[in-house]
Each structure stands twice: as structure tokens, then as C-alpha cells.
A and B are shown apart, each in its own frame.
Chain A
Amino acid sequence: MNQVGTDAKSLKQVRMLFGNQQFLLLLVWFAMVAFFTAFNSIFFSMAVFGNILLDWAPVVLIALGQTFVIISGGIDLSVGSTVGLSGVVAAFQMQHMMTNGDNQWLAIAVGTLVAALVGIAVGLVNGFLITKTKVVPFIATLVTMGAAAGLAIVYSGGAPVGGGPDKAIELSVPWFGPFSTPGLIVVGIVIICGLFLHLARFGRYTYAIGSNEFAARTAGINVNRHYLKVYALSGLLAGLAGMFFYCRLGSGAPTSGYGGELDAIAAVVIGGAALTGGIGRISGTVLGALILTTTTSGLIIIGVAPDWKQVVVAILIAAAVLLQGNKNGSRGGSK
């Protein structure tokens, strides 16, 4: 207990020194890289970074959507299941097109579209439940989490759905430093999300609703429509993550997104967002996801059982939450 207290204090001092939470996250990540490299120099290689980025891309995709959701004051537990469901549905579509002898690239494009649409559909169901039936986001998305996971298993028979375009796997090969084509697309999506969250009306309304829903409503914002959009976006990004896994595995596995919602929430919280809404940044989420996936790879490479990842993640979340408590405390106290 005491240990945690002093750690939080020194963390706070570090933060005050640098001012910026994202900078602190970057330092944490550098420290992790240095730590893992010190234990096993193999860690510091293009191959390992390429692997980390392959893990990072789908996590950050669904964490981006989760960032908007959490800033709006909600939560989306359905994204992990949506990844599996959209991957399976897209896989069947691409399999069908391959047996018809269609062009491989066309099949990939249509598959991506199908995955995106499946994700948006789940997101709209979430938004509908939350705005029309007034179910709290936690319960609404818990319901769709179960439903989507069940559908994915039933639809696929529980096994990965293959027989699609071979070019999909080739896409996952890194060619731009550690980045593959889908990885570069994810980077593009990160940038677009950052612009819309921090510089555009869409983000402004997301913060406003999470900060004070009544204020947003009485300022004339169509709050329900915005919730629909936010959950649809979260679903869309989960759908794209499903397609990302397809390209990586060469098949649509119903369990490919298993636990993804927890990784996403962890990334967002480590990135500095508050589950109470109104606070969070894309840069924080990006780094949070990077720290998360670096932990997994690093532990494997230094020969520690990957199960320890959960412990490390728990510590990181606790540190992030402590840091946030300090921030709010010092804010209130300085007045």
C-alpha cells in the first residue's frame, strides 16, 4: 500500500516535470523496450517490432472506437465479439466469391466492406438499445457481446472459415519498415480519428456529452443521434479489426477477437481516459495499445509466461488511474 503511495507520488513528480501525460507514456514505453532488450537483445530488432505492430494494429483499431465511446461516458463490451463475427461473415463472402472465380482483390475489397457493415450493424444495435430502450451501455453492449459471439460460433460451426483469397495473407507482410499494408491503413485511420476527435465537431460533441449530457442536450445537440454515431463508429472499427485478423490468419476465426474488448478498454484507460467521460486522447490510446502489445511480446521473448501480461496490465491500469486521481485532486485543491 505504502509502496503504491510513494510510487504514485514520484510518478506525479515525473508528470509535473514533463507536464504531459502522453510524454510520460512514451517514457514508459522506452523503459519497457530498454528493459526487454537488456534481458534479451533479440528484442531490439525489426522482426520483433514488426510483430508488435501486427499485434498492435487490431488492438488500436478497436481501442480507437472505445476512446470515443469512453469519452462520451459509455463503454462498449461488444467489440471483441464483433471482431469474430465480422471476420466470419466476411470470410464466407470471400469464400463464395473465390468459388465463383472472382478477382482476388475484388474479393478482399468486398470482404472489407462486408466486415465493416457487420460491425456498423452491431454498433447500431448498441446505439438503439442505449438511446431508445434506455438500457445502460454496460448492459446493452454485454447483450450484443453475447449475441455476436454466439452468432459467430453458430454461423461458422466453431471453426475458422478459410477458402478465401490467398492475397489476403500476402498483404500482412511488412514492406515499409515494420509496417504491412493493413498496418499502414490502421495508421491512417488513427490519424483520421485523431483529427475528428480533437479538431472537429464530432469530437467536440463527444466530449460535451461525456462531460455533461444535460448541458449538451440543452445546448441543442442531438445527443441520441450522436450516441448512435459513436457506437456505430466503434462497431465499424471492430469490423475492420475482424478483416485485419482475416488478413493475418488467412481465415475468419469466430474467436479471433476474444478478450479484445478488455485490451481495448485497458489501452484507453492506460492512455489517460476517464471511465466517467469527458477525458481522453487518441495519442494516449495509441501509446496505451503499444505498451500493452509490447508487454506481451516482451514477456515471451525474455521467457516469462505470457500469463504475467495480465499482472503487468493490471499494474499499468492502477498506475494510470492513480495518476488521474492525482490530477483531479490537484485541480480541485488549487482552487
Chain B
Amino acid sequence: MSAPLYEVRNVSKKYGSVVALDGADFQINAGEIVGLVGDNGAGKSTLVKILSGAHKPTSGEIFLDGVSQGWDSPRDAIEAGVETLYQDSGLAPHLTVSANVFLGREKYVAGPFGKLGFLDNKAMHKEAHKDLERVGIAVPESNRSVSQLSGGQRQAVAIGRAVSWASKVIILDEPTNHLGARQAGEVLQVMKAARAKGLGVVFISHTLPHVLDVSDRIVVLRLGKIVANAPTSEFDAEKLLGTITGLNTL
């Protein structure tokens, strides 16, 4: 078997005396959706932040395409093709939809003004609209400020942004939170489309039916440790819940 697309080995993360993550091994392959589940405080978001380069692990190793990586900042991971949707919305509410979609990778006007950093807002509006549409998300007008959008619309923009930029891995931390049933269904479709494109998808959710529906494999975290890692076919709702709470082990 070849190396997994993206992998962490034996990573731990301590916040002061709190051990949020304790020697976790985690892999994601191309064209695969991995469901990452666990109780509140289990360490899911911490693992996400390590995968995305937002936090440095206290110990452990990270490999992308079999190459050892030490992300110094989210920028490094982004440039390597790893996109992340954070649980606590990663959008800037005072900026427009398109400014958010293009945040950190702005388009510039041609010529010397572009060299000085002058922005091509028109091109960004247009392209942001197209990108969001292509992802299959109901697009709010891309020149409105994000603070004027509903929670569901914001989430849609954040997901669209992540999916349209990801080239290898996309990590979605509770993307269906605050969404209605129909919108949540859209998000699940978006994930399947990303998988079909060959991306590795990490899906974190508390809604177990969603996880059982779209995931190829499920990884369970409890108190900072990986306690289960198996194909979805080996779980049903009851067994999964038992594994999360610690009432039964796989």
C-alpha cells in the first residue's frame, strides 16, 4: 500500500496542563471521506488545528504525500493544498462575500498599481460567484458584507471557500451546525463531490446519521485518544454512540 495522502503520527497537544490530544495517529486517503467523531472536549478541533497548521503539536509528526511537514502557519498548509473550515466561523464579518472567498489570495489589477497591491474587486466578485456556484451552494450576492448574511448563508460561503481552494485535503469542523435539514443535505452533497474529485475529506460532526451516511471510514476520539478507526460498515448508530461515550469498545 502506498503512503496515505495526509497523515499525523503520535501527535500530542498540551494547553498548559490540559492534554487535549494524546498520541493520536490519523490518516486520510485521496478520494475518501473520514468521519471524525467524539464527545465535546474529546480533542477534535485540536486535531483539526494541527492538521491545518493553526497550532503546532507539542510532539508528533505530520506527513503530506509521505513527506514530513512542520507547518509554521496556516499559510504553509494552505499552499500545500490543505483547506480548513473551522468550527468557529473563519469569515471576516465586515468584509464582502467575495473578499472573504479571496482573503489571503487576492487578485490584483494589471500593471504597476497591481504591484502596489491594488485589488481587482470586479474580477474577484465575478469569480467568487462562479466558484460558489460550481461547488453547488446557494450563493448569496457576492458583494454583500458577510454580517448581513444568515448563519446558514455564512456557513455556505465558508464551505464554498474551502472547497473551491482545496487541491488535496479539505477539513470541515462541524460544517452542518446551525443548518436546516435541506442546507445540511447540500453540504453532504458538496462533500461527496469533493471526494469524487479525488480530495481527502475530513468530516467532523455530532450528527451521527450524517456521519454514517457519507463517511467511508470513522475515527473516534475520546479524551484526546483515538479509540476506534474502522470502515463505516462496521458501525451502526448504537455502536457508534457507545464507542463515543465509552460504554462499549470496538
Contacts and interface: CB of A to CB of B under 8 A. Distances in A.
A217 B78 CA distance: 11
Contacts of A207: 92, 94-95
A219 B93 contact: no
9 shortest A-B CB distances, which residue pairs? A220-B75, A219-B104, A201-B117, A278-B94, A211-B92, A220-B104, A211-B94, A219-B103, A200-B117
B159 interface: no
23 contacts: A196-B117, A199-B119, A201-B118, A204-B99, A204-B106, A207-B94, A211-B94, A212-B91, A212-B92, A214-B86, A214-B90, A215-B89, A215-B91, A216-B92, A216-B103, A218-B86, A219-B103, A219-B104, A222-B73, A278-B92, A278-B93, A279-B94, A331-B147
Contacts of A134: none
Interface in B61-98: 73-75, 78-79, 84, 86, 88-95
B93 A218 contact: no
Contacts of A201: 106, 108, 117-119
Contact of A220 (B78, B100, B118): B78
Interface string B133-153: 000000000000001101000
Contacts of A319: none
A200 B86 CA distance: 27
Nearest to B49: A218
A147 interface: no
A212 to B, nearest CB: 4
Contacts of B108: 201
A219 B88 CA distance: 14
B116 interface: yes
B52 interface: yes
Secondary structure at chain A's binding surface: helix, strand, loop or mixed? Answer: helix
Nearest to B103: A219
A132 interface: no
A172 B29 CA distance: 69
Contacts, number: 82
- Interface size on A, as a range, is 20 to 34
A148 to B, nearest CB: 30
A145 to B, nearest CB: 28
- Interface size on B, as a range, is 20 to 34
Given A220-B78, A335-B150, 19 more contacts: A200-B116, A200-B117, A201-B119, A202-B117, A204-B99, A207-B94, A208-B92, A211-B95, A214-B90, A215-B90, A215-B100, A216-B104, A217-B73, A217-B74, A218-B52, A218-B86, A220-B75, A220-B104, A220-B105
Interface of A: 195-196, 199-202, 204, 207-208, 210-212, 214-222, 278-279, 331, 335
B54 interface: yes
Contacts of B147: 331
A201 B102 CA distance: 11
A211 B147 CA distance: 10
Contacts of A200: 116-119
Nearest to B90: A215
Contact of B93 (A204, A212, A217, A222): A212
B51 to A, nearest CB: 12
Nearest to A196: B117
